[in-house]
């Protein structure tokens, strides 16, 4: 059997990047079908070429006799969590059970270790009908054999759209008496300048505020320049962000949510971060924010030539009972487990 040869992909070589992404697409499509949530080629191309300050990304390909058989990716935080590296590895079904995934993982570990990273993170998803611990699931078992542990478990949920306007009205009305004195401020696209610094602080706290189980996670740096760079990346990726914040009586943003669509996946939206500052919880702000952005996306879809959003995907730690309840009230249904993996070198 020929040995797999692993090289870093030249992200400015369109053909090489397309061949690499084909591996990504085939491996993920086999495992997750219509539920796969990989970035499309244009989105990953924009990320890998962005050179943004917040994270350094690299793509790797493994070949046997010149044929690509395994892909890998590393993402290294640059402003915080400087001992951490996020890894991705997968093999298309026709090339599995030959040690290619293990070889790629060893290569990536050596690469990030050389960059001073000793905490490795990754994620793996499996059907929600299977057990929460992932026992017997190929991706989980592979990770455990390689020394990873499941540090936190999230649930991937899907919301079929549109949510009836009457239902959104009912949810908004049920939440309103609990957040009297707060106001909601919504927009599409870049963060308004007067909110920029507060937005950076609020959104950066999600990493440490959201339930993380046994994962080692350091606080994320609040960086306004990174916010603007990330917004430029969204534009380059063909994404649109629908955002909403809750303003406290003193006119300070204390909660936010973010719903994102992409021209590359018509009909789909991704529910990104939602967070309510600890001092302002108990006012049903999370529900109010999500209703507002869901309404905004549906109204935009009604006039979008590409058509309306027909489903939204989101992830939450299964231990986050409050946010799970909010999602269930909106109509989200569980479809996959998502294991957040970690390994120390």
Closest-CA residue to 328 (of 314, 342, 309, 310): 314
**Residues 146 and 243: beta-carbon distance below 8 Å:** no
Which residues lie closer than 8 Å to 112 by C-beta, 6 or more apart?
74, 76, 85, 87, 120
The overall longest dimension of the chain from CA atoms, in Å, is 69
- pLDDT for 245-298, tens place per residue? 999 999 999 999 999 999 999 999 999 999 999 999 999 999 999 999 999 999
- pLDDT for 167-180, tens place per residue? 999 999 999 999 99
φ, ψ for residue 34, nearest 5 deg: -70, -10
Q: Where are the alpha helices (DSSP H) in the chain?
A: 14-32, 41-50, 100-114, 138-145, 165-175, 196-204, 206-209, 224-237, 285-301, 321-330
Q: Any idea which residue has 């929460």 for tokens?
A: 132
> pTM (2 decimals)?
0.95
Would you place residue 4 in the very low, low, confident or very high pLDDT band (cuts 50, 70, 90)?
very high
The pLDDT of residue 1 is 59
Cross-strand pairs, 155: 316, 337
Q: How far apart are CA 87 and CA 341, in angstroms?
A: 10
Would you place residue 58 in the very low, low, confident or very high pLDDT band (cuts 50, 70, 90)?
very high
Q: How far apart are CA 240 and CA 49, in angstroms?
A: 19
Domains of the chain, start order: 5-117 (3.40.630.30), 158-344 (3.40.630.30)
């Amino acid at each position: 059997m020929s040995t797999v040869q692993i090289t870093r992909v030249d992200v400015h070589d369109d053909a090489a990047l397309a061949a690499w992404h084909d591996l990504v697409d085939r491996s993920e499509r086999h495992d997750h079908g219509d539920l796969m949530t990989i970035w499309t080629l244009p989105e990953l191309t924009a990320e890998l070429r962005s050179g943004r300050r917040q994270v350094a990304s690299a793509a790797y390909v493994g070949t046997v006799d010149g044929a690509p058989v395994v892909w890998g990716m590393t993402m290294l935080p640059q402003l915080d969590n400087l001992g951490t590296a996020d890894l991705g590895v997968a093999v298309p079904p026709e090339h599995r059970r030959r040690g290619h995934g293990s070889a790629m993982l060893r290569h990536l570990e050596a690469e990030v270790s050389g960059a001073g990273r000793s905490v490795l993170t990754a994620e793996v998803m499996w059907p929600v009908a299977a057990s929460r611990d992932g026992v017997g699931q190929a991706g989980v078992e592979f990770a455990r054999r390689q020394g990873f542990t499941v540090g936190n478990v999230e649930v991937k949920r899907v919301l079929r759209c549109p949510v009836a306007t009457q239902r959104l009205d009912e949810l908004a009305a049920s939440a309103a008496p609990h957040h009297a004195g707060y106001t909601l401020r919504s927009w599409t696209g870049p963060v308004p300048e007067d909110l920029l610094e507060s937005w950076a602080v609020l959104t950066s706290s999600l990493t440490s505020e959201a339930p993380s189980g046994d994962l080692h996670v350091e606080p994320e740096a609040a960086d306004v320049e990174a916010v603007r760079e990330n917004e430029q990346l969204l534009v380059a990726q063909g994404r649109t962000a629908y955002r909403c914040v809750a303003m406290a009586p003193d006119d300070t943003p204390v909660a936010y949510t973010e719903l994102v669509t992409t021209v590359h996946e018509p009909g789909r939206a991704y529910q990104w971060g939602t967070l309510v500052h600890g001092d302002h919880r108990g006012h049903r702000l999370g529900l109010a924010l999500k209703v507002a952005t869901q309404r905004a996306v549906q109204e935009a879809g009604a006039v979008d030539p590409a058509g309306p959003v027909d489903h939204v995907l989101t992830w939450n730690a299964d231990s986050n009972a409050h946010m799970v309840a909010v999602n269930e009230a909106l109509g989200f249904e569980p479809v996959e487990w998502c294991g957040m993996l970690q390994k120390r070198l």
